Amino acid sequence: MIRVVEWAVLQLPADERYLMGVNRNTREAIISAPLKSFSPEDRLVDDSDGQSYELTDIGLVSVPARRAWRHWCRERGEPEFVEVTEEYEAAISAAAQLKATVRGHTDEGIDTEEHEQTALLRKRQLVADGHLVASNAMSSFLGGPIELLEAISRGRVFYVEVDGTRFYPTFFLDKKLNPARVERVMRKLVGLDVWGRYQFFTTPQTSLDGMTPIDALKHGLTAQVEEAAEGLAER
C-alpha cells in the first residue's frame, strides 16, 4: 500500500478515473492505473493493477504531481478531463462523521456539534448569496482544469468546502485582482486554515484605512496587506 498526500482524482471522458499525488515516503509523483474501488471508511482506493493507495490528507496538489499529470496527458494525446476530487473528499468526510455518530456524543461533543451546525448554515448562506462559486466556474475563468490546479498549487486561489463540495471565493473572478499579489500574501498565511484565509481577505482592516485586504490588493497596496497578514499570523 502506498500512502499518498497532495492528491486529486481526475476523470477522463470514458469514465476512467485516475489518482495523482505524491508518495508520502519517497516524495515521488504518482499517477495510478484506472481506479477500480474506493473505501471512504478506510480512505483507500485500488487501481486496475492491484495497487492500493491510502489517501492520507486532503490538501493542495503539488507541483511534481501536476507536472507528472501533464506529461501523462501529452503521451495520450491531451485527453479532456474533469476533477472529481470533491466526491472522494465528501465521501471520506461523511464516513468520518458517521463513525463519530456511532461512537456517541459527550455533552462537549453536542456543544461542538451545535457550533458546527451554526457555522455550516453561515457557509451555506455564503453560497446562496453568491460569495462562493463552484469549481466549474473557477476552472472556466482560469482557462481549464489544468490552470485551476496550477493556481491552487501556487497559492493564487484557494477553495473552501461546504457540504463536501468545493467552492471558490467569488473575489478571485475579479479581473482587477492581480494573482501574483495574492500569491505573495498567501505565503504569509500558511498557518491559517482556508476559512481563516477567507475571513482575512474579506474583513475590513483598520491598518488598511477600512478596506478589506482584497480591495487593498486591487489598489496596489500589496506590502500593506502582507504586513497585515504577518500580524495575523503572529497572533
- Segment 84-102, tens digit of pLDDT: 887 888 788 777 766 665 5
- Mean model confidence pLDDT for the chain: 85
pLDDT of 58 above 90: no
pLDDT of 82 above 50: yes
Return the beta strands (E) in the chain as ranges. 2-11, 17-23, 29-31, 35-39, 44-47, 52-55, 82-83, 132-134, 160-162, 165-169
Q: Do the strands 52-55 and 2-11 form a parallel or antiparallel pair, or are they unpaired?
A: parallel
* Confidence (pLDDT) at 200: 87
pLDDT of 2 above 70: yes
CB neighbour burial string for 113-130, b if at least 16 within 10 angstroms, e if fewer: eeeeeeeeeebeebbeee
Using one digit for the tens of pLDDT, what is the confidence trace for 166-177?
Answer: 999 999 999 999
If pLDDT is split at 50, 70 and 90, which confidence band does 110 have?
A: very low
pLDDT of 235 above 60: no
* Confidence (pLDDT) at 209: 84
Spatial distance between the Cα atoms of 201 and 214, rounded to a whole number of angstroms: 5
Cell numbers describing residue 52: 492500493
Question: Which of these ranges, 84-98, 179-193, 195-209, 212-226, has the smallest mean pLDDT?
Answer: 84-98
